[in-house]
């Protein structure tokens, strides 16, 4: 059968990212590739207890169909989580999604016609790039520095593309760079977007995992007219296999969002929503986040120390204050897909920078994940990468 696919389906089956992750899945390979949390930190026993309670108390309810907007008790608990993040919201503003990835997809479906402009940080989250491309978007990147998206450049772009459909940003411990946007730039971004009447999609799966620096409120905190759509998730603070995230948005936007959500999957898994809600009653989530943050802080510091020891002296790397990623630039290395091949020969993996750029690819760049590997793996893996970088640099000389 010859299927007549829509434009959403990529023309060829080349999926560079999947190939990279496949190569990294070899058990001999130390992988800094995926954005995976540490499985040893998953609260398995507590989840099991919560699940037992849910089956005992609500067995017949949780196995039934439910509302597309999500379980109201869990949404109320999210109102409390949002209060801690300095965002005051009402129940109508909160919806449960099947991972924040689903919200990214549904928002793109709601706002993008082929050829529409989306403004993002450059580099940005690769699965968001894939989603926006699948709706035929024209992705326009804004350059970044250590303070996050350069809002002066954003201001110029917004003038050039006044019809842009939305600005997509990850202000905290950005994927892939690990960088955090300053408060000054957050306020400025919200103002630029408001003046230009362009909505902002604020993607914040990592914000709760802060181990250094001072807390900076989300863009949503500075939003007075409902232009900021805020997304977050239980994936990084509890477990990604739950597929449980949330959206906070203006009520009129939420009404339409929920209609599309219903088309997509009727509702997020009811059983899991109840289990997460029960878990939040039983367990001190703040303490749990503190515990995982502590481990990630240690791993991030260790990785930075090893980079400074084994990578060339002129290396540039981000110094994340939280989250799971370090962004590295090694001058002279060129295409980091070549470095990737050398690293695989030495049984270590990462994600080349090319996967994350909507615009021009910056040579010598790549993303390292530190949350999923233990101390020995970080020490040995960075040493192997240092060796691979030296091989590439000496090849490039000739
Ligand atoms: C920036 C960003 N947004 C969204 C997601 C998707 O998260 P979820 O598991 O909630 O779908 C990820 C996952 O890595 C991410 O890094």
Q: Where in the chain is the domain with CATH 3.40.640.10?
A: 44-282
What band does 14 get if pLDDT is binned at 50, 70 and 90?
Answer: low
What are 98-146's pLDDT values in tens digits?
A: 999 999 999 999 999 999 999 999 999 999 999 999 999 999 999 999 9
For residue 35, the ligand 1 atom closest to its alpha carbon is 14
Centroid of ligand 1 to alpha carbon of 232 (angstroms): 8
pLDDT at residue 26 in the model: 84
Taking residues 22-28, report their average pLDDT: 80
Instruction: Determine the CATH number of domain 16-43+287-397.
Output: 3.90.1150.10
Centroid of ligand 1 to alpha carbon of 170 (angstroms): 10
> In this model, does residue 37 exceed pLDDT 70?
yes
Q: What's the mean pLDDT when you consider all of the chain?
A: 95
For residue 235, the ligand 1 atom closest to its alpha carbon is 9
CATH fold of 44-282, please? 3.40.640
pLDDT at residue 210 in the model: 98
What are 138-172's pLDDT values in tens digits?
A: 999 999 999 999 999 999 999 999 999 999 999 99
What band does 8 get if pLDDT is binned at 50, 70 and 90?
Answer: confident
pLDDT at residue 27 in the model: 87
Report the greatest alpha carbon distance in the chain.
Answer: 70
Centroid of ligand 1 to alpha carbon of 110 (angstroms): 19
pLDDT at residue 123 in the model: 97
% of the chain beyond a pLDDT of 70: 98
Residue, of 26 and 357, whose pLDDT is higher:
357
Q: Where in the chain is the domain with CATH 3.90.1150.10?
A: 16-43+287-397
């Amino acid at each position: 059968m010859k299927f007549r696919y829509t434009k959403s389906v990529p023309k060829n089956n080349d999926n560079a990212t999947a190939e990279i992750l496949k190569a990294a899945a070899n058990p001999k390979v130390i992988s800094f590739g995926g954005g995976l949390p540490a499985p040893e930190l998953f609260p398995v026993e507590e989840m099991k207890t919560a699940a037992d309670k849910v089956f005992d108390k609500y067995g017949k309810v949780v196995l039934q169909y439910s509302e597309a907007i999500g379980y109201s008790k869990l949404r109320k608990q999210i109102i409390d989580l949002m209060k801690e993040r300095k965002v005051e919201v009402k129940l109508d503003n909160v919806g449960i999604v099947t991972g924040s990835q689903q919200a990214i997809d549904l928002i793109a479906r709601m706002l993008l016609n082929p050829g529409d402009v989306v403004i993002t940080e450059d580099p940005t989250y690769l699965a968001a790039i894939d989603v926006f491309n699948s709706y035929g978007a024209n992705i326009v990147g804004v350059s970044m520095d250590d303070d996050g998206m350069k809002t002066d450049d954003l201001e110029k772009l917004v003038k050039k593309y006044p019809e842009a459909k939305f600005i997509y940003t990850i202000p905290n411990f950005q994927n892939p760079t690990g960088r955090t946007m300053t408060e000054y730039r957050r306020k400025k971004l919200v103002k630029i977007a408001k003046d230009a009447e362009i909505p902002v999609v604020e993607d914040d799966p990592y914000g709760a995992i802060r181990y250094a620096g001072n807390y900076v409120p989300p863009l949503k905190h500075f939003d007075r007219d409902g232009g900021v759509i805020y997304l977050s998730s239980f994936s990084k603070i509890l477990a990604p296999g739950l597929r449980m995230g949330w959206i906070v948005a203006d009520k009129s936007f939420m009404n339409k969002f929920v209609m599309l959500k219903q088309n997509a999957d009727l509702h997020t898994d009811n059983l899991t929503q109840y289990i997460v809600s029960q878990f939040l009653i039983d367990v001190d989530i703040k303490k749990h986040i503190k515990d995982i943050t502590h481990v990630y802080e240690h791993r991030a510091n260790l990785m930075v120390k090893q980079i400074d020891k084994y990578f060339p002296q002129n290396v540039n790397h981000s110094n994340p204050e939280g989250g799971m990623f370090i962004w590295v630039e090694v001058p002279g290395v060129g295409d980091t897909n070549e470095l990737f091949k050398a690293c695989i020969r030495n049984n270590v993996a990462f994600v080349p920078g090319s996967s994350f750029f909507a615009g021009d690819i910056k040579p010598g760049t790549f993303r390292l994940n530190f949350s999923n590997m233990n101390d020995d793996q970080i020490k040995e893996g960075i040493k192997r990468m240092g060796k691979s970088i030296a091989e590439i640099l000496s090849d490039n000389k000739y």
